[in-house]
Structure 1
Amino acid sequence: MRLLLPCVLLTVGLVTGYRSPLNDFQRSEGRELVATPWNAARVLLLPGLNLEDCATRCSQSLDCRAFNYETRPTVTCKHLPWVGDGSNAEVKRNVNCDLYEKKVYVRKCIVGKGEDYRGKVFTTRSGLTCQQWWSKFPHDHRWIPTATNGLELNYCRNPDGDRIGPWCYTTDPERRYESCNIPQCKDEVCITCNGEDYRGQVDHTVSGRECQRWDQQYPHQHIYQPEKYPDKSLDDNYCRNPDASPVPWCYTTDTEMERENCEISKCTEVRVEKRQRSSFTTNCFRGRGEDYRGKVNETTSGIPCQRWDAQEPHEHPFYPNTYECKGLEENYCRNPDGSEAPWCFTSVPEMRTALCLQIKRCADDIEAEDCYHENGRNYRGMVRKTRKGITCQKWNVNTPHRTKINPWTHPEANLTENYCRNPDGDQHGPWCYTTDPKTEFDYCAIKQCAGEKVSMTEPVERVEFSECGKREDRIPRTRLRIVNGIPGNSPWTVSLRDRKGNHFCGGSLVNPRWVISTKQCFSSCYVDLPGYSAMMGTLFRDPQEGEPGVQTIPLTKIVCGPSESQLVMLQLEYPAQFNERVSQICLPPERYIVAEGTLCEIAGWGETRGTGDETVLNVAQIPVISNKECNNYFRGRVRENEMCTNSFQAGIGACERDYGGPLACQNRDCWVLEGVIIPMRRCGHPGQPNIFIRVSVYVDWIKKVMEMA
């Protein structure tokens, strides 16, 4: 064994990639190729094979051009000697079956010289009919059809690798042979703009590497699974552009090259269909706002946007000349990458991007001009879309989400069709289950009726907590300064990590499976989280490998809060284990107001601007001030769903990478999450109060998310 092991490792070391046998096939989901009765005997049944073995055997068989792969009632592989373009078989719907056809027999374009072309074109570029390959008349030749060379009937082929591509001998005695002018796949379908709508069949990159299938996770793991992005047409291993890159691309089968651009022709000016200007909007946006062309140029919180043609303070790839169809003019809010709404890079170095949610959704996009009274419990309108434009799920069905609230549990709530309702009295208004498999529920695109305002906050006399918010205070309290903080113990403070393992934001553990943070830490409510994680149980931003007590748990889901909340909830792949280093913080009572003067604590691993050690968890204690006093400084901009703390001793405040972390206030012997750190125009600025999102306003939403998951 000692002698064999190096040989095995050497052999493995020589492997530079993995090629799936499925790369040879084009998949049609939910389809079956059904043979005509007189051809049924030619179908070869191979029960029990896995999908790749079924594909491998078909690739190796000279008598297999396609296969049906059935998953119910039993797994069955059926090899077929035809594809679905003739009279031998008919393509039919079958939800328990997928049809795989060899690409060389179904695509109408060629790669390279087209030596593997097996299509059914039989006329030349000038319209002459091809001579049968078995015939020597009118032109004698040396080619003999065999089972392996594909010289079938009189179809165009390229048996000698001629640079002109597939050709044939003609039936015209005066013209011996001619090219069939079959287009290159890179030219067959051209791209407009950045190729987001490209649906062609190029499956190799610009350097000639073969593409990895989108429905596979090897050799490269990735987030673009076809079932998660049904609108992106992530078919087989064809080049696509699901992420607003400059051109279509793909993951490659080369382990040394994760992804690479594809070579696809740009449409000429004559062929480009100019988008109708009537689809652009200037005063509101439809869908996700990709056609918004208005002149709003600041974020929801009033921060000016960075110019798209500038690279300061934030470097970015969205150059206006690269994304010529995206309207990246001046510093106007736009949506070049398919986020949920128009956005921009901000002019503040500490905040990279922010949404422009003050831009209204167009009335025709939310189906009705409607409003609700009080909290909307009695709303009986006919709006059936969420604030993000997603269609609501019917209340009486359990697809895609199993409903815990339905016409049987709440018969008095008028849960008809898929209309927005508020059966549980949610203070944030009418809502619905959604038809998006990734979003259980969301609030609807309905506003509170003009002139009505229900208070979000109210005093609570006595608060009782039990199994949360406990810690061992090993470090003495002090009024020193996250900018101007000291190393401290905050066992519910979580470090959010990107795909490279770097800390980028804070969060608070409110349940063994859930973390609360801020929306500004993420580019979108639709961001996929493979590779992202939450680290807890350590004071160090970059703990040494093997440090006892450290827990790093993958993130599996992001849920965005009500529009004005700036909150997100992040679901952990598995529960955190509580101990003296890791515990959950208490949630406050709904709509609770923290008393003025209460001494609270912020914690994080963010920037200290030279006032402390950024490699350890810093804490700082600061007293709460009233919103009235806070608004004297901010000129009335602080809202009821926000709260403030004082600033003193040359500025205590939260900075970049602290965002999303907790403002924790002690209630008897328990710590309570009263606020979430959000970005401000200036962090830790002397004399400037700190603004936080008031968590008590959103406790009902937080509990609903955890309950429905």
Structure 2
Amino acid sequence: MEICLKRAFNYETRPTVSCKHLPWVADRSNAEVKRNVNCDLYEKKVYVRQCIVGKGEDYRGKVFTTKSGLICQQWWSKFPHDHWWTPTASNGLELNYCRNPDGDNIGPWCYTTDPERRYESCNIPQCKDEVCITCNGEDYRGQVDHTASGKECQRWDQQHPHQHIYQPEKYPDKSLDDNYCRNPDASPVPWCYTTDPLVERENCNISKCLEKRQRSSFTTNCFRGRGEDYRGKINETLSGIPCQRWNAQNPHEHPFYPNIYECKGLEENYCRNPDGSEAPWCFTSVPEMRTALCLQIKRCADDIEAEDCYQENGKNYRGAVRKTRKGVTCQRWNVNTPHRTKINPLTHPEANLTENYCRNPDGDQHGPWCYTTDPKTEFDYCAIKQCGTNPFYLLTPLVEFSECGKREDRIQSFLRIVNGIPGNSPWTVSLRDRKGNHFCGGSLVNSRWVISTKQCFSSCYVDLPGYSAMLGTLFRDPQEDEPSVQIIPLTKIVCGPSESQLVMLQLEFPAQFNERVSQICLPPERYIVPEDTECEIAGWGETKGTGDETVLNVAKVRVLSNSGCNQYFRGRVRESEMCTNSFQGGVGACEKDYGGPLACRNSDCWVLEGVIIPMRRCGHPGQPNIFIRVSVYVDWIKKVMEMA
């Protein structure tokens, strides 16, 4: 496309790509604008920018009053002040707008309509001063679009002249608008890619706010969201490895100097999150392991306070609570917006589905629920607690499966976990972040759904664009041309009942089943796996030097009764959790295994009996492993899939 030097143009995509120039001055109501379904109207940024870059010679905004409030004189007029400037098609001297045709250091100015005051500055703010930055500018949303050296920034949605990973659709929370300076990667200051082919990126010159923002949200015993405000004193990884001091560069060199990242709390060797990772982390004191998440730090409870209570499973609850546990208002049962209801007063006339009150028409064992007014969350449990503690029961029913949980055990290529060995687990999913890096595991329970753990995500409302599930590979970083690999974007996250620590992730399109990709079976509701049953854990997580860290590892473990497990953990293991022994010198799940499966064979099929969750230590010799017991939440899992 030819370079358009005029004020605005139509960019025509069909039948040919061409520029249709519009007049330099097109503010009048009779300005002709071409309207066509194949044509978009663009306007040069200098005409819409409300601040100036440098001296503001290219300022084309519409301010027409001076800093003292005087009305500007028309540029074509010689009264009350005579002058030699003549409006042309190139100098931008339109109407009586402030301009800087002579490059005056005072910035844009104008002749005034006051006979006693010939001209005056219009005091147009510098773009770099219009919005100041706090901390390192991660929250900067101003309109500076030039680097400190004056280079124009490249648009974030363009890959020319520099290719990059920060596409706006992958990072919707980073506000990568137009070509404005931003800080999506926790650099010391906002920056941008440049339009200079020889200079990839440069920092921007943006003023720092004089008053430091005071934060009242710091936490010490738990963390919220991604944990940027965590200021506790945990200083070791989940594996028990001491953290490296932030002011040290050994054994790992890094850019996070405490004096540069002053507001990130980089004290001593405490776990912190200076770069917006999924949770607090640290550099480790082990040369072979650069970083590790500190997932032993608990997440702060994000449920609102219960407003009522219910008996048993709440099927007979008739109270007036109409909020979910997250504080979202319930959708009325008799309407179909924003969600089309499969359960309503017509389908369940006996359930008292009036207005938008919380009810339990389907006998959900996790209590009253409702459809929500949040378009992204179809249903959720309500801000209601049990009035008392109901007896917890588990069953050992006859198990029958059909097509799920099948695999070709002859496939024994390279595979990862502490003291694990290469193996085959076709339902194990690698969850990938926006940069394409593996960060957690998951299990494929349906062609469109994956189960993982909440600890892998910052919240139940995390922006998923850019996140994906990788299936069909044994390798953590497979070759681009590996034929069996399937990479499917994640489109939806659904958090399980509050105590479950589970999440379900919806895939954008169905996975294709083959010998490398298959779904694992779900157990019957409340099923309890017999003690000493041999099961498998699988993942691409930390091996602590006991395995190949580039491939999936599978390790065999045996189920331990909860009573035996509680002897070790002093009664802290709940019935909604299950345990396995630690054999073979400390077999266990570590960082980046979390969310993966504990699979047990039953009736010639593999069944998802547990989900890997973080523990105080991982793969610790003699320490039992704890998992979420999936059978307790099977009804919720099926409900999510049915309602989608």
Aligned counterpart for 1:61 among listed residues 23, 30, 41: 23
The answer for the alignment partner of 2:405 in structure 1 is 469
Task: Note if 1:701 corresponds to 2:636.
Answer: yes
CA contact (8 A) 1:280 1:292 kept: yes
Alpha-carbon shift at residue 698 of structure 1 (Å): 1.4
Which residue of 604, 612, 618 corresponds with 1:677? 612
CA distance in 1, matches of 2:599, 2:401: 14
User: 1:117 pairs with 46, 51, 59, which one?
Assistant: 59
Q: CA deviation at 1:358?
A: 5.1
TM-aligned CA distance change 1:442 to 1:105, over 3 Å: same
The SS at the match of 1:473 is: coil
In structure 2, the partner of 1:11 is none
Residue ranges of structure 1 left out of the alignment (5+ in a row): 1-17, 26-43, 68-72, 80-99
Structure 1, residues 224-277: CA drift from partner, whole Å, max 9, x if none?
A: 559966xx87766555678987666667667888876543323334xx7x76x9
Tell me whether 330-339 or 212-221 shows the greater mean CA deviation.
330-339
Larger helix proportion, structure 1 or 2? 1
Q: Which amino acid aligns with 1:627?
A: N
Q: In the alignment, which residue of structure 1 is the partner of 2:593?
A: 658
Superposed displacement of residue 331, structure 1: 10
Question: CA separation in 2, counterparts of 1:412 and 1:243?
Answer: 54
Query: Counterpart in 1 of 2:317?
Result: 379
Between the aligned partners of 2:222 and 2:615, the Cα distance in structure 1 is 27
Name the structure 1 match of 2:347: 409
1:608–1:322 Cα change, 3 Å: closer
Instruction: Give identity over the alignment, percent.
Output: 76
What is the match of residue 370 of structure 2?
432
CA contact (8 A) 1:196 1:240 kept: yes
Higher relative contact order (Cα pairs below 8 Å, separated by 6+ residues): 2
Query: Which amino acid letter does the alignment assign opposite residue 375 of structure 1?
Result: N
Q: Assess if the C-alpha contact under 8 Å between 1:351 and 1:679 holds in 2.
A: no
- Of 352-361 and 566-575, deviating more is 352-361
1:550-577: CA deviation from partner (whole Å, max 9, x where unpaired): 4333333333322322222233332222
Contact 2:577 2:629 in 1 (8 A): yes
Answer yes or no: is the 8 Å Cα contact 2:226–2:280 preserved in 1: no
Q: Does 1:151 align with 2:113?
A: no
Once the two structures are superposed, the pairs formed by residues 319-398 of structure 1 within 5 Å of their partners are 344-345=280-281, 351-353=293-295, 356-357=298-299, 359=301, 369-398=307-336
Q: CA RMSD in A?
A: 5.0
The residue identity in structure 2 corresponding to 1:631 is: N
Shift of 1:667: 1.0
1:422 to 345, 357, 360: 360
Structure-2 residue corresponding to 1:647: 582
Contact preservation (8 Å) 1:660, 1:677: yes
Q: How does 1:496-515 map to 2 (within 5 A)?
A: 496-515=431-450
For residue 184 of structure 1, what is the aligned residue in structure 2?
A: 126
On the 8 A contact 1:305/1:332 being kept in 2, the answer is: no
Contact 2:59–2:100 (CA under 8 A) maintained in structure 1: yes
Q: After TM superposition, give the deviation of residue 658 of structure 1 in Å.
A: 2.6
Over 3 Å counting, the alpha-carbon distance change for 1:191 and 1:489 in structure 2 is closer
CA distance in 1 between counterparts of 2:3 and 2:367 reads: 50
Question: What is the rounded CA distance, in whole Å, between the counterparts of 2:294 and 2:220 in structure 1?
Answer: 25
Which among 608, 629, 646 is matched to residue 564 of structure 2?
A: 629
Q: What residue in structure 2 maps to residue 587 of structure 1?
A: 522
CA contact (8 A) 2:107 2:124 kept: yes
2:471 corresponds in structure 1 to 536
Q: Note the C-alpha offset of 1:704.
A: 2.0
| SS of the residue 1:701 aligns to | helix
**2:343 is paired with a residue of what secondary structure?**
coil
CA distance in structure 2 between the partners assigned to 1:262 and 1:505 by the alignment: 35
Q: Distance in 2 between the 1:205 and 1:484 partners? A: 50
Cα distance in 1 between the residues matched to 2:308 and 2:218 = 21
Counterpart selection for 1:668 from 603, 609, 616: 603
| TM-score, length of structure 1 as denominator length | 0.72
Residues 281, 292 of structure 2: 8 Å contact kept: no
Letter in 1 for 2:599: A
| Structure 1 residue identity aligned to 2:515 | E
Question: 2 CA distance for matches of 1:467 and 1:685?
Answer: 36
Shift in alpha-carbon separation, 1:513–1:66, aligned structure 2, 3 A: farther
Count of residues in correspondence between the two structures: 625
SS in 2 for 1:632: helix
- CA pair 293-543 structure 1, distance change in 2 beyond 3 A: closer
Query: Does the 8 Å contact 1:354/1:520 carry over to 2?
Result: no
**Gap change, CA 1:162 and 1:454, over 3 Å in 2:** farther
Change (3 A) 1:402 1:245: farther
The more displaced of 343-352 and 386-395 is 343-352
Cα distance in 2 between the residues matched to 1:20 and 1:521 = 47
Do the aligned partners of residues 50 and 220 (structure 1) sit closer, same or farther apart at CA in structure 2, a change above 3 Å counting?
farther
Q: Does 1:162 align with 2:104?
A: yes
8 A Cα contact 1:220 1:258, kept in partner? no
Question: Does structure 1 retain, via aligned residues, the 8 Å contact 2:165–2:435?
Answer: no
Q: 2:287 aligns to what?
A: none
**8 Å Cα contact 1:289/1:334 also seen in 2:** no
SS in 2 for 1:377: coil
Question: What secondary structure is seen at the aligned counterpart in 2 of 1:569?
Answer: strand
Q: Indicate how the Cα distance of structure 1 residues 191 and 417 shifts in structure 2: closer, same or farther if over 3 A, else same.
A: farther
CA contact (8 A) 2:322 2:358 kept: yes
| Aligned residue number for residue 516 of structure 1 | 451
Change (3 A) 1:375 1:505: same
Query: Are 2:453 and 1:491 aligned?
Result: no
What corresponds to 1:562 in structure 2? 497
Stretch deviating more after TM superposition (528-537 or 676-685): 528-537
- Tell me if structure 1 keeps the 8 A contact 2:491–2:508: yes
Q: How far is 1:549 from its partner?
A: 3.2
The structural deviation recorded for 1:632 is 0.2
State how far apart, in whole Å, the 1-side matches of 2:245 and 2:586 are.
33
| TM-score of the superposed pair, with normalisation by structure 2 | 0.78
| 1:104-143 correspondence runs (5 A) | 104-105=46-47, 107-125=49-67, 129-137=71-79, 139-143=81-85
Instruction: Determine the structure 2 residue equivalent to 1:452.
Output: 389
- Give the match's secondary structure for 2:430: strand
Distance 1:313 1:679 in 2: 26
Q: Give the conservation status (yes or no) of the 8 Å contact 2:532–2:560.
A: yes
Where does 1:20-59 land on structure 2 (aligned, <5 Å)? 57=20
The one-letter amino acid of 2:120's match is E
Residue 427 of structure 1, CA deviation: 1.9
Q: Secondary structure in 1 aligned to 2:636?
A: helix
Supply the AA of the counterpart residue of 1:666: R
> Deviation at 1:589?
0.6
